[in-house]
Structures are given as structure tokens and as C-alpha cells.
Amino acid sequence: MPGKVLIVIPCYNEEASLPKVLPELLSTALPDSYQLEALIVNDCSKDNTSAVAKKHKATVIDLPVNLGIGGAVQTGILYARENDFDIAIQLDGDGQHPPKELPKLINHHIKTGANIVIGSRFLEKEGFQSSFARRLGIKYFHWVNRLMTGAQVYDSTSGFRLFDRKAIKLASVNYPDEYPEPESLVVFSKAGLKIAEVPVIMAERQGGQSSIRSFGSLYYCFKVSLAMFFSFIRKP
């Protein structure tokens, strides 16, 4: 029986990019006869994100209040758990994560059995590499994560990531609510899940705005570092 893959796309004001992302996604052939479903988690957008997603035949959950990226992703993970998906893959709605890169994550999961597979910009340094300031921040989180977990994750802020059934089960009940990517790696590591990276080619965003502004970057680093520390010392 073919496996089921849920593509979780958290969206806030992404009407400009979805008309390109969704057709490309829904026409993507996955390995091992996996069946794909696209889920848009509309995080209380102020534009026509929901209508655009429904027009392109995606499943849509319209959140009644803005939960932020962590809450939107966890909503998708809960949907994956309740509907018995084998794999959930987070993919940004802004076009930064080309759907043609999806098979790389799935094939790596099949080959290695990793519970979490992260699509990394930095293993082969191809495609869009982000700004210099953000690369410095990502390198910082690489070392913080290595200190706390011993794991080498070079693109720990990447939102392009695969969850298998074990990871879905954990993330559905315990997932950071704000800027969750670095902190969640501490949660997964403490639970004994296997985390892997695979090189992918990313693109620049095709619309919308990043949730992290340059004005708040130092605050972001401090806040996430503190959250990672508390996840690290928290009892299982």
C-alpha cells in the first residue's frame, strides 16, 4: 500500500506566491509511490491566501487567530497524526523551498531511517544562501545546538523538514510555538530521535514578508537561545 505524505504549508499573507508554489507541488512525483496531499494552514492572513489555496485544490485550515509559525506547523502535524499520514513535510508558502527538492528528503528518510530530515542550504552551498547577517545567526545556532545535543546540524533554522511517524507523534504534543526550528531540534534530540540533513537548493522568497525582521534579529537570537536552554534543562 502506498505511503501518505502531507505537505504542511504554514501561510501568512502568501497569496502572491501560492499560485506558483501549489501547481508545482501538486504535479511533483514522489518516490516509492507515496501519495501527496497539500495542506495550507492559513494563520489568520489578511489577504486572499485561503481563497487562492482553495482555488488550487489544496486542503485548507483557516485558523481563527494568528498562532505564529510554531502553532501553524503544529496544527498541520496534528492533522497528519489524526489522518494517519506516514510522513509530514513542512514547506514554506513563499517559494523558498522548491517542490522538486522534496524527493531528496523522502529518499534520505527511506535510505537512513532518520526521523527528522532537514533540507540544508549549506552542505553543498548551492542556490540562495540568505543574507550575510542571517548566515552568521544560523552558524551561531549550529554551535548552540551542537553544545546542547552533540548533533551537527548546519541549517538548524531551515523550515524545510520531514517528520516521520515518531516525529509526528512527538511534535503533535510538544512543539515550540515561536521560531520553533532551532528549539525543536533540542526537543527531538532529547527524545532520542535521529536527525539528518540533506543538501537542497533553495530560492529567494517570491512574495510576502519574513517573520524575522533585521530590527529584531539580536532579540531573536537571545530569545531562541533562552528557549533552547529551557528545553535542554526541562525534564522529559
53, exposed or middle or buried, with CB in 10 Å at 0-12, 13-18, 19+?
buried
Compute the average pLDDT of residues 204-215. 52
Which residues does residue 197 pair with via DSSP β-bridges, in sequence order? 118
- Cα 157 to Cα 172: distance, rounded to the nearest angstrom: 19
Enter the pTM of the model.
Answer: 0.87
Query: At 200, is the secondary structure helix, strand, or coil?
Result: coil
**What residue segments make up the domains of the chain, in order of their start?**
4-233
Query: At 197, is the secondary structure helix, strand, or coil?
Result: strand
Query: At 60, is the secondary structure helix, strand, or coil?
Result: strand
Closest CA to 78 of 184, 169, 165, 164: 169
**pLDDT, tens digit, 9 for 90 and up, residues 130-167:** 655 666 777 788 788 888 887 888 888 889 999 999 99
Highest mean pLDDT among 11-15, 79-83, 135-139: 79-83
**pLDDT, tens digit, 9 for 90 and up, residues 87-125:** 999 999 988 999 999 999 999 999 999 999 999 987 666
CATH number of 4-233: 3.90.550.10
